[in-house]
Structure 1
Amino acid sequence: MIVDSWFTVQQIDCNTYAISEYGHWEKVHSFLLLGNQKAALIDTGLGIDNIKRITDQLTTLSIDVITTHVHTDHIGSHGEFERIFVHEDDKDWLVNGIKGLSIEQIRKDISRDITLPLPSNFNADTYQPFQGEPTDLLVDGDVIKLGDRKLIIYHTPGHSPGHICVLDEKNGYLFTGDLLYDETPIYAFYPSTNPSDLVNSLEKISDIPNISMIYGSHNTLGLEPIILKEVKRAVKFLRENELTKFGTGIHKFNGFSVQF
């Protein structure tokens, strides 16, 4: 077991790890998936500390970074890795900067409500989100092969234009990024989001068969797939009541909520 001052490493199975940042109010999870030929890292965290320090201890395989979406808390250590993949609709944000969030707001959010000692080299006043060219672009239906493990990409816009979910077909794990998690609302209330797209994306993942566990990027690590039945109900409710638009507020369901 890895003991670290900033990251918490939790083993999901013998070839899958959650790398979590519980010292930050967002409680961010990144995920390392090992195949017999290479590995995939789903997101790289906040960038408060260097997640590569952890992945180096877990594998010697080459790592493909799969970006669920280009927000600060998911691309923090992208600069530490050679191979970065992002959906084509979020490429502009990765290269030219995240739309709709000022650097002042980003720095404020990155440094508030910290409950663990910060790394000595972290300075919120000079914090800069990663910007750079991806290795390649992802589209809906792409398959990433790790050898004995196959990852299927689902384009699930709404929280960002190029948000994706990742299905580990072999194990039935669905990594949902910021499309589905519990405890705090799923956000689609700022100008760079799209409430209607987000609801369509929730419907899309609710129809994926043979899910064994859902792993969102925040809060509780691992949600039982029964929640997808509630997702279906939520989609129907939101549409029938014409709530899929900005300004309708927080909508609470059994196990999750959304904010438009």
Structure 2
Amino acid sequence: MNDPWFTVQKIDEATYAISEYGHWEKVHSFLLLGKEKAALIDTGLGIDNIKRITDQLTDLPIIVLTTHVHWDHIGSHGEFDTICVHKNEEDWLINGIPGLSIEQIRKDVSRDIVLPLPKMFAPDTYTPYRGKPARVLRDGDVIDIGERCLTIYHTPGHSPGHIAVFDMINGYLFTGDLLYQGTPVYAFYPTTSPADLVHSLEKIASLPGIKKLFGGHNTLGIDPDILVEVRLAVQELRNKNAVRHGTGIHEFEGFSLQF
């Protein structure tokens, strides 16, 4: 698909990555097609309207699964009727993140852009989505989109209501901002928890049946071998008493963390 802002890559016949490589965040959203519904994991930056892309890929009703309520993952939430979010971030979705100014968000969303901006985008009026979710998610929930079941895992740390989504049939684990490559996964803001992040990494590293991981930024697709390094990293961080704010960047084989 030739689009001026979004890059669409087919993972398989029923799974698409919708990426925004023109922005420094290099955000990925993912469209998963079932027999009855489609699930859209995050909706991107909101610099351009991701619904223009999903409309070309499917006519199934779409449910949005929010990995977490940071501005770079909820940009086009307002274009969809069925928004799901973990219960620990329901208030953030409705009222915004306490302490995060709109000035800072507008500065971050408008910097280091290497593609022509859509005419609809105005950084000085950019405002993250706010609204009441249609469904509140909890750890262990299963979302059935028709012969394709998605398991929700609560994976806090980067944010209190962060989730990972496991496509059991294909062995795809969508990790949001819990695990990705290229830049550090961060847990250094007051709203983050290094201890929770490390526990969440340990949690996904023990899941059986993972054939591919898909993070929310940078590299598209990570081999499951990285989970061996994740387990070693968790042990090393605990042994060094480094699982706390202020200990800086910790680099491992294939990924890094910033506390």
Same fold per TM (> 0.5)?
yes
1:240 maps to: 239
Task: Identify the residue that residue 147 of structure 1 maps to in structure 2.
Answer: 146
Equivalent position of 1:166 in the other structure: 165
Structure 1 equivalent of residue 125 of structure 2: 126
Q: Which residue identity is paired with 1:243?
A: A
Give the whole-Å Cα distance in 2 for the aligned partners of 1:241 and 1:139: 32
Aligned length: 259
Distance 2:79 2:11 in 1: 24
Deviation at residue 101 of structure 1 after TM alignment: 1.7
The CA distance in 2 between the partners of 1:209 and 1:193, in whole Å, is 27
Task: Identify the residue that residue 71 of structure 1 maps to in structure 2.
Answer: 70
Shift of 1:121: 1.4
The equivalences for 1:98-247 within 5 A come to 98-247=97-246
Matched, 1:80 2:79: yes
Deviations 1:39-59 (A, max 9, x none): 000000000000000000000
- Counterpart of 2:56? 57
Matches of 2:87 and 2:244 in 1, distance apart?
Answer: 25
Q: Give 1:240 shift.
A: 1.0
Q: What's the TM-score, normalizing by structure 2?
A: 0.99
Partners of 1:255 and 1:30 lie apart in 2 by 21
| Percent of matched pairs sharing the same residue | 69
Tell me how far apart the structure 1 counterparts of residues 97 and 7 of structure 2 sit (CA, whole Å): 27
Rounded Cα–Cα distance in structure 2 between residues aligned with 1:128 and 1:186: 24
Letter in 2 for 1:47: G
The residue that corresponds to 2:20 in the other structure is 21
The residue that corresponds to 1:37 in the other structure is 36
Distance 2:99 2:180 in 1: 23
Partners in 2 of 1:102 and 1:186 — Cα distance?
Answer: 22
C-alpha distance in structure 2 between counterparts of 1:23 and 1:35, whole Å: 29
The one-letter code matched in structure 2 to 1:163 is H
SS at match of 2:124: helix
Deviates further, 28-37 or 96-105: 96-105
Q: Which runs of 5+ in 2 are unaligned?
A: none
1:183 & 1:24 partners in 2: Cα distance?
14
TM superposition shift of 1:100? 3.4
When normalised by structure 1's length, the TM-score is 0.99
* Contact kept? 1:152, 1:166, Cα under 8 Å: yes
Offset from partner CA, 1:67-104 (integer Å, 9 cap, x none): 00000000000000000000000111100002332111
Which of structure 1's runs of 4+ aligned residues deviate more than 6 A? none
**1:254 and 1:54 mapped to 2: Cα distance?**
35
1:23 deviation in Å? 0.3
In the alignment, structure 1 residue 5 sits paired with structure 2 residue 4? yes
